Amino acid sequence: MFGVVTDVRLQNTAKVAQTNVPVTFGQVFAVGDMQPGNTLVGRFDNGETVYLQMDVKATHADGSIRHAVVSGIVPSLAVNETRTLSLMKTNAPKTAGVSPKTLLQNGFSASVQATIGGVTYRVSPDDLIKNGNASQTWLSGAVANEWLVNAPLRDDKGVAHPHLTARFAIRWYDAVKKARVDVTLENTWAYEPNPQNFTYDTQVTVQGQVVFSKQALEHVHHSRWRKVFWWGGDGSQVHVKHNTAYLIASRALPNYDQSVVPSEATLAGYKRSWTGPGIEPMGVGMADPYMPSTGGRPDIGLLPGWAASYLLSMDARAKEVTLGTADLAGTWSTHYRDKNTGRPVSLMDYPYMTILGRSGDTYNPVTRQHESFPNCAPGASCATYKTHDSAHQPGFAYLPYLVTGDYYYLEELQFWAMYDIFESNPGYRDNIKGLLSWRGQVRAEAWSLRTVAEATYITPDSDTLKGHFTRIMTNNMEWYNARYTNNPGANIFGVLDGEGAVVYGGRGIAPWQDDFFTAAVGHTAELGFSGAQALLAWKAKAPVLRMSEPMCWVDGAMYSMNIRDSWDSPNYTTMAQLAAANPTTNPNLPCNSQAMANALGLRVGEMTGYSSTNIGYPSNMQPALAYSVDARLPNGAAAWAKFMSRSVKPNYSESPQFAIVPR
């Protein structure tokens, strides 16, 4: 063994002592920490060691391991016990896995069915394995083997339902003869004619017992739902607490302020809220069912508030709502799967596909085919009360995939990322290039960039979508750098100034939306994308300049900021012009003086824009300003110091999605 890389804490969540407990979790590694050929072994504080299986999924540019799925069998956990397991680097060879036939040899059985209009459709993974249906191996080794199998639901005559497909991820722990049964029912085919909502009675059976049933479930088009069960007895009742400091230090996640302690009231509130129809299939969990709703809320940010609370606390209640809401991310009609590949539909295969514009906009001159998606079936319903919107889209699945390694979350992240790319008109995104620069709103560019960057970063190296996303990210970094960073004629303020950005009277931008984009670029730069650091160096000027003279930092997080005199006028070319066009109050009042505070109805040292709230405009500004310091911008550290000296600050213990600080 070569020393500790990081550790996890394993908390017994059962009401009894447990022995031989199967545990699987995802683990991200910093660049260089785990070299090719390195594996892990676990060591408890008492010196007891645990064999760990490591399935490597993604690597860094230098070849070191970026992300892996780790599995082990924990010998014992006493009642209420939490044990720290150090992850030690070693070079021990990996042991081969077993065949999916092992499931059949041990009597495994499961099924899912849906009854529509008196006709029952059914599929079982054991039948699929028995009949030799192709399966994908997700995990393989001495501890855990996981196979992915899928098939359409069929009636008793063997006729397949054209839209409903079941997908199973069966994780087998051979040493304890238990299986984790991950069931997903989908209505997601991209190009199947006559898409529509289906209402059915459904049930899931495991080991001969009905483990889930739902009457009159309305399954909306291009969505899916998921449930997880155990075969062979109770499953793993262990809460895995990752090392927050290491996760953040890996740069896979933003530098959330680790001095923030999510309040007990917040964590207890998560637990109380996690009940009722909203957490069942076709619910939305913690998310807002109408994403375009205006105003601040906890699902806006690089991470949603609940996920940031989980990251900082590693609390089981916050984890439950974070993973649960990621499960329910499948509810939205953003899931388009390609029958030809079996994967989320890709822009590389259909460069003219879109949900916007006319069918004529989707004509592919190479294939001579229109790539518009089929219309809703005549007379059928495609209505849903859930409205998605890239301008307010939560970061649902990235953190859940990082910490679990569950394939469902990987695809959830990929579905949303590809949706963000193809939702726009093909001409606006430059077809196959997948440009995010025309989204109508800067915040839509921000959250789309975040999601696409995360999908590119964490998608396994062996996944064909890895190359697709990488190409799209390269296109976007090149476009933004050509338009701004490397353009001598670009504005001097570091703000996006395209058609969707200048929205107030043809002369003003929304700095808070611009800050969202700066934060997304900063996160992208930390993930290591080529060109992102250069873009950040240009972009991060925006929040710094608003905190610097001749601007008054009290209004640094203003709601709108004029950057020119009119729609047809050129942008201002000096900070003096900018300051004159955006007076905080009477320009004769000294910045941050008592007279200014009186005029604004604030305390001395208080910023405008709801400075006391964790969703106010200064809070929106904080991640952007933090990344400007990390980018080593001139005056960046001074601007941050001024920002942190303000007299009124938010209580991030209630929702820390903007509690990001410089590294």
Task: Write the pLDDT tens digit of every residue in 595-619.
Answer: 999 999 999 999 999 999 999 999 9
CA atoms within 13 A on the CB side of 576: 0
**Residue 211 to residue 444: CA distance in whole angstroms:** 40
Question: In the predicted model, is pLDDT for residue 134 greater than 80?
Answer: no
Q: 564-577: per-residue pLDDT in tens?
A: 999 999 999 999 99
Does 281 sit behind a cis peptide bond, omega within 30 degrees of 0 on the bond before it? no
Question: In the predicted model, is pLDDT for residue 586 greater than 80?
Answer: no
Q: How confident is the model at residue 198 (pLDDT cuts 50, 70, 90)?
A: very high
Nearest to 27 by CA among 2, 61, 4, 1: 4
- How far, CA to CA in Å, does 458 sit from each of 148, 466, 656? 19, 9, 24
- Are 543 and 651 within 8 A, CB to CB? no
Provide the percentage of residues in the chain whose pLDDT is more than 70: 100
Nearest to 97 by CA among 153, 191, 172: 172
Residue 541 tokens, joined: 């000027």
Question: In the predicted model, is pLDDT for residue 295 greater than 90?
Answer: no
- Are 454 and 332 within 8 A, CB to CB? no
Instruction: Report the pLDDT value the prediction gives residue 229, as an integer from 0 to 100.
Output: 97
CA atoms within 13 A on the CB side of 446: 32
Residue 647 tokens, joined: 């007299």
Question: In the predicted model, is pLDDT for residue 272 greater than 80?
Answer: yes
Could you state, in order of their start, the residue ranges of all structural domains in the chain? 1-93, 101-231, 319-374+392-644
Mean pLDDT of 276-284: 96
Mean pLDDT of 338-363: 92
Mean pLDDT of 134-145: 94
Q: How confident is the model at residue 1 (pLDDT cuts 50, 70, 90)?
A: low
Nearest to 452 by CA among 478, 483, 422, 480: 422
Fold classification of 1-93 (topology level): Immunoglobulin-like (2.60.40)
Q: 518-563: per-residue pLDDT in tens?
A: 999 999 999 999 999 999 999 999 999 999 999 999 999 999 999 9
- Are 170 and 228 within 8 A, CB to CB? no
* Burial zone of 413 (CB within 10 Å; 0-12 exposed, 13-18 middle, 19+ buried): buried
